[in-house]
């Protein structure tokens, strides 16, 4: 493996609350090469905050600290907001968990994808338009001309996710952070959209951080998996080995997945006392 | 009794017709799933029933009452919707407490304090979240607030648009168990949109598969569990789900 794309040591994200400062990410460390890294874990475990921290998109009064926090050799903590703006989109892009909220409500989706492309490349209007439509088609939008002219509130949940993915892939970033990018897609469209992301990983050597609740999906799609619980990484494994995970927390998550031939009347829920005591 | 009956429902936005001849009957106490292609019109069907997509022809009947084309206060008491995107549907400048109390205030229901408290427990949200704002919660925590809000009025028909797709499997299990229990205790009727077939297996009795604005198949969940859906498109979805679970 070449030099890592991302090196993170002891990352902490904190928020002041009425009861004092709380750490929502507590000493997370990992490195990422040109590979597909999955992050799973319960709701509220700090997955999105970890992703946002990498782009320094934690809103004040939240704070980020780390011992090492480097992207492609650049110390992210030392970058000014202006420098970060040059990195965002062009070099590191993030598909936000709630795309329709993250899209600009007063611009059509076509205009927004065009804008993302322009940060990367100078092209004529016609060429830009063509690339936008091709990209929409690539993410399985059947009638790209109509959809390019729609505003975010006029598209479906899954179309919003695909528009966001199109926007984030079109500048060909070095690192893509995808936060629940396909949770609103039917399995058939999902498979095709993942193929497009995969293509950029293989062809351009893009690194991918894939945050998802879907353990089956992550274990079949990623190379390596981190399991987070209350702001910490509790287990790390090769993706194919997720089924053999040993941490009781990870095992609890796996047991809670419903099956297509489900016969249980009630799904097991996590017994948090099982590992919190440690 | 039939809780919800749709007949030849064609729904449009402006010039664009989205659904074509949607017909289905859901019995009181039944849990019915709407699955299918992204963009095929599933949310649009729910919105029409809830009065949020007023441009339709055909008929919508809820507990024997024909539904008008707009918002209907009386109707809201019996039929509530949980929206697909949990950010957009919660008021950004209201605390969770205000969001949950509001429907009670509008409908003149007392005992607000304890009802809010009980509901937070029911959806598995710690009391520390009660006076926070939506942006101070994670995606899954927000979705639980949205579900809690819909349940505050104890509706008889619940329209659920991807209620657990923003939730991790452990919280999903808690919410699915909760929905199942509520349905048993209060004889609730569900119309639920989801793309997760195993969730359908766990919670639903029947399902309709949609593509390009039409229903291509209506089947019993027993058929889904046995892998016996008929239409090629339904089978495609089923096969990928099986492969996926490894
Ligand atoms: N502004 C804030 N102030 C205080 N706490 C916050 C704030 N924003 C987020 N949090 C808390 O940080 C924790 C981690 O949030 P994060 O969004 O990273 O969770 P997540 O793992 O992405 O969960 P989900 O799967 O539900 O999206 C949560 O418990 C959340 O309540
Ligand atoms: N307000 C609107 N104005 C114009 N078109 C709209 C509007 N809302 C939805 N549409 C269109 O209606 C179609 C169906 O959307 P809908 O949200 O019902 O799909 P869906 O089946 O719920 O998809 P998903 O699974 O992705 O959420 C889409 O083509 C969408 O662009
Ligand atoms: Mg998140
Ligand atoms: Mg939808």
Average pLDDT score, chain B: 91
What is the per-residue pLDDT for B87?
A: 64
pLDDT truncated to tens, each residue of chain A (278 aa)?
457 999 999 999 999 988 899 999 999 999 999 999 999 998 889 999 999 999 999 999 999 999 999 999 999 999 999 999 999 988 999 998 877 778 999 999 999 999 999 877 888 999 999 999 999 999 999 899 999 999 999 999 999 999 999 999 999 999 999 999 998 899 999 999 999 999 999 999 999 999 998 999 999 999 999 999 999 999 999 999 999 999 999 999 999 999 999 999 999 988 765 555 33
For ligand 1, atom 31: residue with the closest CA = B137
Report d(CA B216, CA B227) in Å as an integer.
16
Task: Give the right CATH number for A6-259+267-276 from 3.40.50.300, 3.40.190.80, 3.40.710.10, 3.40.50.2000.
Answer: 3.40.50.300
Structure confidence at residue A111 (pLDDT): 96
Any A CB within 8 A of B58 CB: no
Q: B138 CB less than 6 Å from ligand 1?
A: yes
User: Could A267 and B162 be called an inter-chain contact, meaning their C-beta atoms sit closer than 8 Å?
Assistant: no
Q: How far is A124 from chain B (nearest CA, A)?
A: 31
Beta strands in chain B (DSSP E): 2-13, 16-17, 22-27, 31-36, 56-62, 65-66, 79-82, 157-161, 189-193, 206-211, 214-220
Check B202 against A264: CB less than 8 A apart. yes
B184 touches A at CB < 8 Å: no
Q: Which atom of ligand 2 lies closest to the CA of B47?
A: 18
pLDDT at A273: 56
Check pocket membership of B143 for ligand 2, CB cut-off 6 A: no
Q: How far apart are CA A263 and CA B26, in angstroms?
A: 23
A-B contacts (CB, under 8 Å): 158
B50 in the Ramachandran plot: left (φ > 0), alpha (ψ -120 to 50) or beta? alpha
Best interface-test mutation with A: which of B91, B195, B237, B246 has the largest number of A CBs within 10 A? Answer: B195
- Tell whether A142 is within 8 A of chain B (Cβ): yes
Taking a 5 Å cut-off on Cβ, the residues next to ion ligand 3 are: A 48, 97; B 139
pLDDT, tens digit, 9 for 90 and up, residues B111-168: 999 999 999 988 888 888 999 999 888 777 888 899 899 999 889 999 999 988 878 8
Give A129 or B186, the one with higher predicted confidence.
A129
| Minimal-distance CA residue of chain B relative to A44 | B138
Quick check: CB of B5 below 6 Å from ligand 2? no
3-state DSSP assignment of residue B81: strand
Tokens of A263: 């016969």
Cβ of B141 under 8 Å from any chain A Cβ? Answer: yes
Residue B178 pLDDT greater than 70, yes or no = yes
User: What CATH code is carried by the domain that includes residue B58?
Assistant: 3.40.50.300
Please indicate whether residue A156, judged by its CB atom, sits closer than 6 Å to ligand 2: yes
Q: B16 at the A interface (CB within 8 A)? A: yes
Are residues A183 and B240, on separate chains, in Cβ contact within 8 Å? no
Show residues of chain A in contact with B16, CB under 8 Å. 146
Q: Is the CB of B236 under 6 A from ligand 1?
A: no
Task: Give the mutation candidate from B168, B196, B203 for the A interface (greatest A CB count, under 10 A).
Answer: B168
Question: What domain count does chain B have?
Answer: 1
**Beta-carbon separation of B170 and A269 below 8 A:** yes
In terms of residue numbers, what domain contains B166?
2-245
Ligand 2 atom with the smallest distance to the CA of B53 is 1
What percent of chain B has pLDDT above 90? 67
| Ligand 2 proximity of B44 Cβ (cutoff 6 Å) | yes
Q: Does A219 touch chain B (CB under 8 A)?
A: yes
- The token pair at B123 is 């959806």
Q: Is B20 on the interface with A (CB under 8 A)?
A: no
CB-CB under 8 Å, A188 with B37: yes
Q: Is A101 on the interface with B (CB under 8 A)?
A: yes
Determine the pLDDT at residue B86.
64
The residue among B124, B169, B182 with the most chain A CBs within 10 A of its CB, best to mutate, is B169
Residues of B in contact with A158 (CB under 8 A): 38-39, 195
Dist. CA B139 → ligand 3 center (Å): 5
What residue in A sits closest to B222 (Cα-Cα)? Answer: A261
Per-residue model confidence (pLDDT) at position A246: 92
Mean pLDDT within B41-59:
95
């Amino acid at each position: 493996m070449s030099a890592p794309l991302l090196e993170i040591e002891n990352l902490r994200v904190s928020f002041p609350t009425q009861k004092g400062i709380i750490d929502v990410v507590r000493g997370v460390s990992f490195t990422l090469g040109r590979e597909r890294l999955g992050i799973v874990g319960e709701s509220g475990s700090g997955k999105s905050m970890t992703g946002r921290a990498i782009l320094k998109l934690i809103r004040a009064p939240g704070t980020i600290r780390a011992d090492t926090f480097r992207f492609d050799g650049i110390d992210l903590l030392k970058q000014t907001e202006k420098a970060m703006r040059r990195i965002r989109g062009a070099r590191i892009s993030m598909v936000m968990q709630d795309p329709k909220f993250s899209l600009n409500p007063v611009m059509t989706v076509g205009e927004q994808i065009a804008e993302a492309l322009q940060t990367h490349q100078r092209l004529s209007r016609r060429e830009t338009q063509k690339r936008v439509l091709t990209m929409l088609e690539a993410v399985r939008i059947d009638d790209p001309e109509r959809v390019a002219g729609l505003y975010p509130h006029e598209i479906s949940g899954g179309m919003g996710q695909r528009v966001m993915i199109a926007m984030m892939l079109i500048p060909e970033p070095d690192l893509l952070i995808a936060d629940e990018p396909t949770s609103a897609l039917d399995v058939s469209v999902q498979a095709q959209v993942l193929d497009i992301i995969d293509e950029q990983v293989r062809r351009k050597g893009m690194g991918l951080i894939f945050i998802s609740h879907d353990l089956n999906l992550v274990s079949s799609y990623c190379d390596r998996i981190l399991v987070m619980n209350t702001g910490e990484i509790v287990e790390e494994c090769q993706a194919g080995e997720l089924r053999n995970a040993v941490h009781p927390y990870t095992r609890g998550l796996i047991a809670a997945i419903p099956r297509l031939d489900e016969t249980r009347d009630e799904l097991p829920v996590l017994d948090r006392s099982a590992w919190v005591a440690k | 009794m039939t809780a919800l009956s749709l007949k030849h429902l064609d729904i449009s936005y402006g010039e664009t017709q989205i659904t074509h001849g949607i017909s289905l009957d859901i019995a009181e106490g039944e849990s019915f799933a709407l699955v299918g292609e992204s963009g095929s019109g599933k949310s649009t069907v729910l919105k029409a029933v809830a009065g949020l997509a007023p441009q339709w022809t055909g008929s919508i009947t809820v507990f024997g009452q024909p539904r008008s084309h707009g918002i209907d206060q009386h109707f809201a008491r019996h039929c509530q919707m949980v929206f697909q995107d949990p950010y957009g549907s919660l008021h950004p400048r209201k605390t969770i407490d205000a969001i949950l109390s509001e429907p009670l205030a509008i409908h003149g229901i007392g005992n607000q304090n304890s009802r809010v408290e009980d509901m937070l427990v029911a959806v598995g949200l710690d009391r520390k979240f009660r006076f926070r704002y939506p942006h101070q919660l994670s995606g899954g925590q927000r979705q639980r607030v949205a579900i809690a809000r819909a349940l505050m009025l104890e509706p008889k028909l619940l329209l659920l648009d991807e209620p657990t797709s923003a939730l991790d499997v452990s919280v999903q299990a808690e919410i699915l168990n909760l929905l199942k229990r509520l349905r048993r205790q209060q004889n609730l009727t569900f119309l639920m949109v989801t793309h997760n077939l195993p969730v359908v297996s766990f919670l639903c009795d029947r399902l309709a598969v949609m593509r390009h604005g039409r229903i291509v198949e209506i089947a019993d969940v027993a058929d889904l569990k046995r892998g016996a859906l008929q239409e090629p498109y339904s089978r495609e979805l089923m096969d990928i789900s099986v492969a996926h679970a490894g």
